[in-house]
Each structure stands twice: as C-alpha cells, then as structure tokens.
Amino acid sequence: MIFNVLTIFPAMFPGPLGCSVTGTALLKDLWTLNVFDIRSYADKNHENAKASVDDRPYGGGPGMVLRADVLGRCVDDVLAAHPGTKLVYTSPRGAKFNQDIARQTIDFDNITLLCGRFEGIDERVVSYYNFSELSIGDYVLTGGELAAMVVIDSCVRLLPGVVGNAESLEYESMSGGLEYPHYTRPATWRSLSVPDVLLSGHHGEIEQWRREAAKEITKQRRPDLFRET
C-alpha cells in the first residue's frame, strides 16, 4: 500500500511512523511512504507569488491560506506519478475518522493525504480534484500532518503481516466497543491484585469476563458506542 503525503514540512515524516510495527513494516516494504514538499512547487518567477505557498484570504480575515496554484502543481505531479490515487484532505470539518473508515481505506492501494496549514487551503483545490475530507476529532491542530500520521498508522497496522498477533486484529475487527482492561506481572502491585478469573486458567470464564468488562467500560465511557453494539 502506498501513502503519498503533501506537506510544507516534509521533515516531519516518517516521524513516529518510522518506529515500532509501522516502522518495521516500512523497512520490509509492506507499505510505502512518499512525501511531496509543497514549498518546492511555489512559482519563484511569478511577480506576485514571491516563492510563497500561501496568501491572504479574499474577503479579509485572519491568517493565511495555502494557494490553489501551488497546490495544483503539487497534486498534478502526484496524479501523474500515481494515477487513480485516493485523494484525502485532513480537515477539522471532514468526516470523523474511525476504525470502520480505516478498514475501508485499506481497500485502496494508493492514498494521497494533503496536509493543510494556517487557515486551511483554497477551497477550489478541494472541489476541482474532488478531495474527500477526514477529521480525527473535534479540535484544531496547527496543521494536518499529525492527522495524516494518525490515519496512516491506523491503516498500516491493518495490513497483512504488520501486526504480529493476528488475534489482536481479529478481536478489534469484531468489537464495536472499547477494550477490556489488561493486566500483567506482578500479580499484586501496591496492594492491588489482578482479578482472580484471569489467573484461573479457565479460558471460557476469562473470555466471558473480558466481554462483560468491555461492555461495562463502553457503557460508562462511550454510551454512543454502546448503543451501536
């Protein structure tokens, strides 16, 4: 699977994606990361461009907006090299990213993630290229790079061979709620003990305990998810 990232800060990548299982998978060529530096597409010869990737918004207002002409040249290059790539713009107004969308996303062999900055990007780029928009939550970041990393991490770990324990992915794919609590050694820590059932060796009882614990946690902390399960 190929991910193309369009950003004005290419040094941010691979960043944390180069660590742990995603980093190992990257070294094994289980997925590919291509980073396009938007700044390299600024027109240094245009008298009004001044080699800038952004400009003041029409109609006034605070901040700056990434220019359509600069972004257009960058996207055109991506499309020339990767025809048919799925175009995604990380934006706080986008559809909220979740596990279901992650599973749908890996159906595509090639994904292009455009990372916004400042006040955002010229709207004409979104409409001209028919970008999908994704948000990772109801808050504002300084740029779309961290959101792109979240999307990539969530998708890459679903690819075959990336996560060593396939059982973990199977559980996640079947569960619509939050996970059950986890415990490991020591059995007692600061007078707090691991639930007896987890030490019993009775796998059926352990599975039942985990299902009930997951259900209760989901009901308490994410009732919206509990209603869907």
Going by the annotation, the residues of the binding site for S-adenosyl-L-methionine are 116, 136-141
DSSP state at residue 14: S
Contact 92, 139 (CB under 8 A): yes
* CB-facing half-sphere around the CA of 106: CA atoms within 13 A: 19
Pairwise CA distance, residues 111 & 86, whole Å: 5
Contact 55, 186 (CB under 8 A): no
SS3 content of the chain, % helix, strand, coil (to 5): 40, 20, 40
Look at the block and give the residue holding tokens 């700044």: 39
Provide Rg for the chain, Cα atoms: 22
- The torsion defined by the Cα of 88, 108, 18 and 78, in degrees rounded to 10, comes to -50
Contact 97, 132 (CB under 8 A): no
